[in-house]
Amino acid sequence: MMITGGCGFIGSNFIRYMLKESDFTGKIINVDKLTYAGNPENLSGIEDEFKDRYAFIKADICDSAKIAEIFEAYKVDSVCNFAAESHVDRSIVKPDAFIQTNIMGTFILLESARLQMDHMVRFHHISTDEVYGSLGSEGYFTETTPYRPNSPYSASKASSDHLVRAYHKTYGLPMTISNCSNNYGPYQFPEKLIPLIILNALEGKPLPIYGDGRNVRDWLYVKDHCTAIWTIMKDGKNGETYNIGGDNEMENITIVKMICDVLDEIGKLNNRRSRRDLITFVKDRPGHDRRYAIDFTKLYEELNWRPEASLETGIRDTIQWYMENQVWVDRVKSGEYLSWMEDHYG
């Protein structure tokens, strides 16, 4: 199995799950460009523990010759495509990188898979609920919700979804797509809301919240996401899309207060203030979708999957992980791991 973007947040959690906990018995080829969010330290120890079942290759999915070479050398029979530029704020400032990686990169993977379709079992494409746009105060995204992306990031993911589906309809490529809600958990890059709030709150720094903080997201613990992906790859129907949700819909301001309260239980700030006092409202970002909410009925009814983690247990586990992995946090925040990657991988 080729896993692209396997050194990123969700990809590295998926590789750990597949090798350590799932019933998968094959070999994983992890292909990652190692951009700012791709950190080999997320998979520390995996290569030594699974010498015969894991290989890492530094490569850009936009490099068609290299990708074709990997497909041929390893006789790739399945792909799980995590590789993507994924941060909405970055897409607003620099949309060209998102167009290149998310659209052209997916196209190059699809072409390589098409050329070896005689032994391709599954091409699974990881997408997002952001392709559906924004919801009002009621209703849920389903697999038949029309696409209405509102940022360069979500537009690029919508385009890649359409490409994957077109390769199934046109060429018969065996594929599935999953559109997930907001992930959180171990190894998430600190620019995202939950790790940013956790780390700032631990250090007594301001906790920035866009607008009025009433934007609603459905939160999915990354381990639950991993089990859902593998369920779809094994048992999902070719040509189908499956929504993956956490059944944890909550306003941003509420989840920030939850994090503050959990950390206050562990220990107050030096001045004995509540961490809620650190909350700071900042100017809203352009095109900020008001509400996302996922209906994962199809995944539950057809494949018998549902999330296990509640938001409270997931948040507590995530906080604990960040507190116990301060060396990882310090290296990522300082950019030191980028120098380490340059020394190790060029």
Residues with active-site annotation? 129-130, 153
Angle, in degrees to the nearest 10, between helices 326-334 and 311-324: 80
Residue type (1 letter), 227:
T
| 82 to 14, 34, 207, 318: CA distances (angstroms) | 10, 13, 29, 21
Query: How many angstroms separate the CA atoms of 242 and 144, rounded?
Result: 10
Query: How many angstroms separate the CA atoms of 109 and 76, rounded?
Result: 11
Q: Residue 221 region, left (φ>0) first, then alpha (ψ -120 to 50), else beta?
A: beta
Decide: helix, strand or coil at residue 231.
helix
Query: How many angstroms separate the CA atoms of 49 and 66, rounded?
Result: 27
Query: How many angstroms separate the CA atoms of 3 and 56, rounded?
Result: 10
For tokens 């290296």, the residue is 331
The values of phi and psi at residue 220, to 5°, are: -120, 120
Query: How many angstroms separate the CA atoms of 70 and 343, rounded?
Result: 23
**DSSP category for residue 100:** I
